[in-house]
Structure 1
Amino acid sequence: MLNTVIIQPPLVQLNTPYPSGAYLRAFFTALYEETKTEGAVEWLDLSNALFHRIFCRAGLEFIFKKTAFLALKKADFFERNGDDSSAFQLRRFVSSAENWCRWIDTVIAIVCRSKNVSGREFVHEFVRSAHSPRGNRMEQYLSGLNRDVTADDSQILASLALADLADYISVVYDESFSLIRYAEHLAVSTADFSQAVAGLSSPVLNDFYKPLLQEKLRPFLGGRALFCISIPFPGTFEAALFTAKEIRVQFGNKAIVSFGGGYVNTELRTVKEASLFDFCDILSYDKGYGSYVDFFENDCALNGKQLYKIKYRFNGLVIEPLHHSERLEMREKSYIKKIIPDFSGIDFDLYPRLADDTNPMHRIWNDGAWLKAYMAYGCYWHRCAFCDTSLDYVKGYCSTDISALYNGLHNQAEKTGVYGIHFVDEACPPAGMQLFALKNCAVPLTGAEKKRLTWWGNIRFEKTFSRDMADLLSYGGLTAVSGGIEIATGNGLNSVNKGTSLEHIVSACCAFKEAGILVHSYMIFGFWNQTEQDLIDSMETLRQLFEAGLLDSAFWHKFSLTLHSTVYREWTEGKHTDLKPLPLKEGQFAENALSFAGENRSEKYAESLNFALDCWMHGEKLKKKVETYFPFKMPSPSVPADYVERLITLYEKKRDAAFSTVPDSRAKFVWIGGTPVVLPAKNSFRLCWSYMGELFYAESEPGADCGKADFVVSFLKKIAAERFSDSSEAFSAATVLSSLGKALFFQLRGKGLCALL
């Protein structure tokens, strides 16, 4: 008998479970059935559990009691060194500790869907009372309001209250603590293993996490168990080591400890630190399905035989993975296509919906308990120069069975009560998105039997996303997209092999925004060869995108050179001679992110880039010249002042041309315009219908009678998107044209009559 326990160590995004546990639970459940293995498959989200252990009355009472003396001592130090603000904040926390402890349950009730604690009734007092607790972040928000605070501000204030408490904890109790990623200071490229081990003595891990972990492990004591510990980010590595160490203490040789996840896949592929295997038995690479199939087929034995994408230690030697097996690769792909993440047993009421910003797109990540899933493993483009294109999570593209995925996710939604889906693909495949939207359309909007899903995810800004496509996706539940622009100049896009153009980027953004879909963009600065002119031009184009209303939010990332990127591979081939990667540091543990000569030169731009972006995301300073955001001289942009407006005009011309051109007879069409009303007209009839908040009219050819009107209305119902769960079932352009006639066909185009891919 073998139990499998999947563990997510702290701390990851708080509003919803990290998806690796849901996928592994579903996979192991299937594998146990196929191999007739006896035992339980359990998933422990210890990130969420730790959050609640800290942010409760008992947790805060413990922390304040332990830190009050040190906090006051630090306050004196700050005051002596001229930092009156920090001194004030610390003294206020200590003096209002009892008040924080009194209010913490209400704060949690506001951000969680708590069944047990009254929250809404106390909201009015929390946001308005002079006696409710306040921290620096809360006060900054309140001072920035140009109106009176209302109960509607409670979610933001409660979220900021938690952030204020986290600031206090990191200053006087555990410097490694942050709300999102614990031990975030553990840099990907510079940390050696001894630093991570030293971090195991941290207060949060020992005072809070250890007793929690012991409690959660207790039900499995006495039996043999496989522990799969997910390490998605560098910030979860120390907690993963702590988890593994405690498992060793509790279970001895009855435990098999496996590390996997994004950090293992990217940073630890060539790890040479032998003492890592004092904590874990296995490093499982990439998706893991094929690895565990091989492991189970070999009776879960680590006896010196090479296993598929598994690294382990045997008799003092590290056994390297078997990297290729056609049989196991095919088996893994079969699981990718069919596995639906299993969120059963997860209490979503325990996950806080944090809202730290008023920007609607910026807050969508945290404000909602999304079921995270993917439409495809890997990236269908996988050619961007800065990306880890040699690694499986990018290059190993494999689509899921979209029909099975939709049905499975809808089933999960009915079980959990969470009908929001966040697709975490590298880039969702457009054809898959269209099929998913059609499946969603087929769920009736009325009646109590089923609800439609609402969803969003990562995409590539490309010409595929036409107005037709965006309209259908919006109708089918898509509410937001995020995608990489990276460098908003033509030369910049070409230099990183983005595979798209600014014309197509603007076109996609226009289509999404016209369809009512929120849009977020990822930007990159700090390439080794990026000139100030290229940076300021990219910034100016970004400003114009915001000014034109094509973006809702964005984020600047600093370029990171990685061992597995196309750029680095090309450098090893003698290209990019101006790039100077630096040797790995002695004792360096993680080996993916590389330093390069001059990488710190770009740090001076970060503050100004982020300040400007924050203004634009809130509709401020959109006319301010971009070069004036910097405290040092920058070149003026060479981008024309009407650059984006010209591209919008080009988009509109092409959109209108597509709506007025006779389509290929093989094209498919659906109707998403609701039920038209027939209005009488002289020698003809008129149709009236509401679409996307507007009322439209179309007039038939002269001489058309009521019989024709009834036929047209009936035909539009027949081609309604709700009737098709697959695009191949939709009616062809030839049929639609002959049934409606050209006059009605072109009057309906773009106003409900929608072309499919």
Structure 2
Amino acid sequence: MVLLITPPFTQLNTPYPATAYLKGYLNTLDVPSAQVDLGIRVINRIFSEKGLSELFACVDDNHMQTENAVRIFQLRHEYVYAITRVMAFLKHPTFIEAQNICQGTLLPEASRFNQLEDEHTAFGTMGLVDKAKHYCTLFLEDLSDFIVEAVDSRFGFSRYAERLGRSASSFNELYDQLQQPRSFIENILTEELAVVMEQYQPQLVLITVPFPGNLFGALRIGQWFKQYHPDINISLGGGYVNTELRALKDIRLFEFCDFITLDDGEKPVQCILEYLQGVRKLDQLKRTYICQDNAVRYLNGAAEGDVLQKHLGIPDYSDVEWDKYFPVVEVANPMFRLWSDGHWLKLTLAHGCYWGKCTFCDGSLDYIKRYEPSPVGMVVDRMEALMAQTGIRGFHFVDEAAPPVLLKELALEILKRQLKVVWWTNIRFEKSFTADLCLLLKQSGCIAVAGGLEVASPRVLKLINKGVTLEQVSNVAANLTHAGIMVHAYLMYGFPSQTAQETIDALEVVRQLFEMGIIESGFWHQFALTAHSPVGLQPAAYDIEITGGLQGSFANNDLEFIDKQGAIHETFGDGLKKALFNYMHGLGFDFQLGEWFNFKVPKTQLPPNYVATMINDDVVLKPNSQLLWIAHEPISKNIVKTKGKKTVEMSELTLLSAKTHITINVKAKLGQWLCQCLSEMAVTAEKRITFSDFQNKYETASLGDFNKFINSYTFLQLREAGLIIL
């Protein structure tokens, strides 16, 4: 039995997918396995009547430094009383309980509720249940603030002891903290571990460490196993390991585990299993660290390559404890909440990034550089299998950047199979995302995309080799928004040589994009230099000096550096985030940009219509463009129109879709021809009709001037009814 563990803490609303992916692959090997999210189990233990009662009972008065913490402690009985109903509502919201939460006195309020006045207008548009979810989120965040101040400063809903894991070039502090007595939260963790151990009795435990905020919890888990079940083998893997521990030298880490695997885990785990079964030699493990002869040794002698995407198996969510997950609504923004609301099934369209050239990205690492698309038919097979397994019809494709061609094929396959699903993913703002492609994606269930606008500066976009322009980003965002697809922008500041002027001008671009309504949400992060990025590998080319982070015996990825040319970047963070928070709520567009900062900044040099002038809604019709009819087959009715003494035979075409009903009247010959053509353009058609084919068919039928036809009101109505040109 293999036990797959997600340590505290990742997401509250849906499981992190690593264990489901690995379990799916182990199924193809007929290896029995079980997965458990110890993070969500611990959260459910803490945020219960019993858990809060025990938490408040262990509080020392001396640990409460603020009036806010004192207030929460004084109201502890109200918190204990309310917690069961809050958790029940978040998992199964009802209209009546939403009334209790919003209008009644169920929830005690501390400092997190102070922001409600600022958000009243925005939440007025979201409905009562959403408002109640937000109130419950504030209630939980107040408790989180109390826990951090009075019980365990390491706590966070989606992270634990993150500071210890971030930029830990030395293992010393982590190791020292692991020798200390367990905290209140860590005691709950080990209690849950004991339950899991009793239930599954595994021979091998795989612990995923996706983020710095999972490392300490993972090591506590390994420590517990080594203390109470030293015969069980422990292996660590995941995103944090893949990026941070590629030059590991500190043998003390192996007091908490036996193996550490890099990059995709399927084949390395298979090799470990074969080694433990005695059918593989130790030196034939794949991308695996072990401790041997009192030193860290890296083994990569396996002859086999990595598992192809088509052989990975179907991610297996069969033993996920869905009833323990719950949504939180932190802000009144429908796009931003996708990360924290809803049970999403995670899938991957392609391994790696098809661009892979951004200079800030870990492009030299396998998870970026090895691009391998999956067959779209297989992806949709997996979607259908997961829907049957879970009853869930929402998908998050967690690609680094989903290619437009693959998304087009995905949308067509979903429509062919008549699946009614919703999905979202990450993209690059490629010009391939035309208005019509966006309509097709929307028709297939796409509700949102997230993509990198990054620095929003023409010069710096070139410097980071993003491969997109501001004009592209603006037009693609407009196309997506007009199709009804929400857009989230990843934003960056502080790239080497970026000036204060460029930072402020970037904020002005962001302001205009929000004011025009063509992006829904965004997130600023400060540029971080990593050892595996082109900037980290060639610092002189970007005029920076690396001052630390390369010589550690533990994590060697996040680097310290001096930017010899740019602004003092860290001073801009608070102002940029404050502005963005307001823009996401539809506020503050009339503020001067300098008002967001507590120091003097330059005025923007961009005109107020800078973005608007870049928007171009012209449709380019190419001979090889494909025509697609996404509505129902037309319903044709013969009618006769009389003009004076003259009668004309006409066709009345009714064009139906789930959302539209359009009737057009055309001459009978054109009507018959259109019915035939549109049926040949159906999603289910074996062969696609090109624009050139369409023109030839029209002219062969002697229906008149083709250019007049495609510029006519009739053709415009066909476009509105469901004629897409790709």
- Structure-2-length-normalised TM-score: 0.90
Question: CA offsets per residue over residues 20-74 of structure 1, 9 Å max, x none?
Answer: 001000111112x3xxxxx62111111111111111111011001111x42xx45
Q: Name whichever of 273-282 and 243-252 sits farther off.
A: 243-252
Task: Give the aligned partner of residue 74 of structure 2.
Answer: 95
* Partner SS, residue 632 of structure 1: coil
In 1, the alpha carbon distance for the partners of 2:186 and 2:392 equals 34
Indicate conservation of the 8 Å contact 1:304/1:319, yes or no: no
Question: CA offsets per residue over residues 715-749 of structure 1, 9 Å max, x none?
Answer: 4244222x25xxx7333334444556646555156
* Residues 1:633 and 2:600 are matched in the alignment: yes
* Residues 1:417 and 2:391 are matched in the alignment: yes
* Residues 1:275 and 2:248 are matched in the alignment: no
Task: Give the aligned partner of residue 328 of structure 1.
Answer: 304
* Partner SS, residue 159 of structure 2: coil
Q: Name whichever of 729-738 and 422-431 sits farther off.
A: 729-738
Question: CA offsets per residue over residues 602-651 of structure 1, 9 Å max, x none?
Answer: 11111110111111111111132323322222222222322111111xx2
Indicate conservation of the 8 Å contact 1:337/1:401, yes or no: no
Q: 1:535 to 1:543 in 2, by over 3 A?
A: same
Task: Give the aligned partner of residue 85 of structure 2.
Answer: 106
Q: 1:622 to 1:296 in 2, by over 3 A?
A: same
Which residue of the other structure, out of 501, 504, 510, is the alignment partner of 2:469? Answer: 501
Task: Give the aligned partner of residue 19 of structure 2.
Answer: 21
In 1, the alpha carbon distance for the partners of 2:674 and 2:591 equals 52
Indicate conservation of the 8 Å contact 2:498/2:567, yes or no: no
Q: What amino acid sits opposite 1:754 in the alignment?
A: I
* Residues 1:575 and 2:541 are matched in the alignment: yes
Question: CA offsets per residue over residues 74-95 of structure 1, 9 Å max, x none?
Answer: 55xx4xxxxxxx31x2232222
In 1, the alpha carbon distance for the partners of 2:192 and 2:47 equals 14
Task: Give the aligned partner of residue 150 of structure 2.
Answer: 172
* Partner SS, residue 491 of structure 2: strand
Deviation (angstroms), 1:382: 0.5
Indicate conservation of the 8 Å contact 2:249/2:295, yes or no: no
* Partner SS, residue 320 of structure 1: strand
Deviation (angstroms), 1:544: 1.2
In 1, the alpha carbon distance for the partners of 2:286 and 2:90 equals 43
Deviation (angstroms), 1:427: 0.3
Q: 1:686 to 1:488 in 2, by over 3 A?
A: farther
Task: Give the aligned partner of residue 593 of structure 1.
Answer: 558
Which residue of the other structure, out of 270, 276, 293, is the alignment partner of 2:270? Answer: 293
Q: 1:678 to 1:745 in 2, by over 3 A?
A: farther
Task: Give the aligned partner of residue 668 of structure 1.
Answer: 626
Question: CA offsets per residue over residues 173-229 of structure 1, 9 Å max, x none?
Answer: 0000011111122252146323223444441443211101111111333xx611110
In 2, the alpha carbon distance for the partners of 1:422 and 1:333 equals 22
* Partner SS, residue 582 of structure 1: strand
Task: Give the aligned partner of residue 755 of structure 1.
Answer: 725
In 1, the alpha carbon distance for the partners of 2:184 and 2:20 equals 26
Deviation (angstroms), 1:518: 0.1
Task: Give the aligned partner of residue 185 of structure 1.
Answer: 163
* Residues 1:527 and 2:495 are matched in the alignment: yes
In 2, the alpha carbon distance for the partners of 1:304 and 1:344 equals 33
Deviation (angstroms), 1:356: 1.1
Deviation (angstroms), 1:144: 4.0
Deviation (angstroms), 1:337: 5.4
Indicate conservation of the 8 Å contact 1:489/1:537, yes or no: yes
Sequence identity percentage: 30
Task: Give the aligned partner of residue 386 of structure 1.
Answer: 360
Task: Give the aligned partner of residue 325 of structure 2.
Answer: 351
Q: What amino acid sits opposite 1:126 in the alignment?
A: I
CA-based RMSD of the aligned residues comes to 2.6
In 2, the alpha carbon distance for the partners of 1:476 and 1:537 equals 37
Task: Give the aligned partner of residue 36 of structure 1.
Answer: none
Task: Give the aligned partner of residue 539 of structure 1.
Answer: 507
Q: 1:151 to 1:466 in 2, by over 3 A?
A: closer
Which residue of the other structure, out of 229, 234, 239, is the alignment partner of 1:251? Answer: 229
Question: CA offsets per residue over residues 243-296 of structure 1, 9 Å max, x none?
Answer: 11111223222x111100000000001011111111111111101222233334
* Partner SS, residue 185 of structure 1: helix
* Residues 1:125 and 2:88 are matched in the alignment: no
Task: Give the aligned partner of residue 64 of structure 1.
Answer: 56
Deviation (angstroms), 1:676: 4.4
Task: Give the aligned partner of residue 712 of structure 1.
Answer: 674
* Residues 1:647 and 2:633 are matched in the alignment: no
In 2, the alpha carbon distance for the partners of 1:432 and 1:137 equals 43
Deviation (angstroms), 1:311: 1.2
Q: Name whichever of 621-630 and 101-110 sits farther off.
A: 621-630
* Residues 1:156 and 2:154 are matched in the alignment: no
Q: 1:304 to 1:349 in 2, by over 3 A?
A: closer
Task: Give the aligned partner of residue 644 of structure 2.
Answer: none
Q: What amino acid sits opposite 2:189 in the alignment?
A: Y
Deviation (angstroms), 1:690: 6.2
Q: 1:644 to 1:694 in 2, by over 3 A?
A: farther
Q: 1:689 to 1:436 in 2, by over 3 A?
A: same
- Structure-1-length-normalised TM-score: 0.87
Deviation (angstroms), 1:492: 1.3
Q: What amino acid sits opposite 1:55 in the alignment?
A: F
Task: Give the aligned partner of residue 220 of structure 1.
Answer: 200
* Partner SS, residue 643 of structure 1: coil
Q: 1:105 to 1:520 in 2, by over 3 A?
A: same
Indicate conservation of the 8 Å contact 2:309/2:373, yes or no: no
Q: 1:434 to 1:737 in 2, by over 3 A?
A: same
Deviation (angstroms), 1:107: 0.7
Task: Give the aligned partner of residue 448 of structure 1.
Answer: none
Task: Give the aligned partner of residue 645 of structure 2.
Answer: none
Indicate conservation of the 8 Å contact 2:169/2:556, yes or no: no
Which residue of the other structure, out of 40, 43, 57, is the alignment partner of 1:51? Answer: 43
Indicate conservation of the 8 Å contact 2:235/2:258, yes or no: yes
Deviation (angstroms), 1:410: 1.8
Deviation (angstroms), 1:142: 5.5
Q: What amino acid sits opposite 2:200 in the alignment?
A: F
Task: Give the aligned partner of residue 135 of structure 1.
Answer: 110
In 2, the alpha carbon distance for the partners of 1:281 and 1:544 equals 53
* Residues 1:266 and 2:273 are matched in the alignment: no
Q: 1:318 to 1:211 in 2, by over 3 A?
A: same
Q: 1:499 to 1:534 in 2, by over 3 A?
A: same
* Residues 1:42 and 2:2 are matched in the alignment: no
Deviation (angstroms), 1:584: 3.0
Indicate conservation of the 8 Å contact 1:193/1:589, yes or no: yes
Task: Give the aligned partner of residue 364 of structure 1.
Answer: 338
Q: 1:708 to 1:335 in 2, by over 3 A?
A: closer
Task: Give the aligned partner of residue 210 of structure 1.
Answer: 190
Q: What amino acid sits opposite 1:328 in the alignment?
A: E
Q: Name whichever of 147-156 and 414-423 sits farther off.
A: 147-156
Task: Give the aligned partner of residue 479 of structure 1.
Answer: 447
Deviation (angstroms), 1:528: 2.7
Indicate conservation of the 8 Å contact 2:247/2:554, yes or no: no
Question: CA offsets per residue over residues 155-186 of structure 1, 9 Å max, x none?
Answer: 11112211111111111000000111111222
For structure 1, list consecutive stretches of 5 or more residues without a partner in the other structure: 34-38, 79-85, 445-450
Question: CA offsets per residue over residues 287-306 of structure 1, 9 Å max, x none?
Answer: 12222333344455696515
Q: What amino acid sits opposite 1:316 in the alignment?
A: N
Structure-to-structure mapping, 1:369-448, within 5 angstroms: 369-444=343-418
In 1, the alpha carbon distance for the partners of 2:550 and 2:333 equals 41
In 1, the alpha carbon distance for the partners of 2:693 and 2:51 equals 67
Deviation (angstroms), 1:141: 2.0
Q: What amino acid sits opposite 1:369 in the alignment?
A: H
* Partner SS, residue 520 of structure 1: strand
Indicate conservation of the 8 Å contact 1:196/1:237, yes or no: no
Q: What amino acid sits opposite 1:729 in the alignment?
A: K
Task: Give the aligned partner of residue 447 of structure 1.
Answer: none
Indicate conservation of the 8 Å contact 1:348/1:416, yes or no: no
In 2, the alpha carbon distance for the partners of 1:730 and 1:337 equals 30
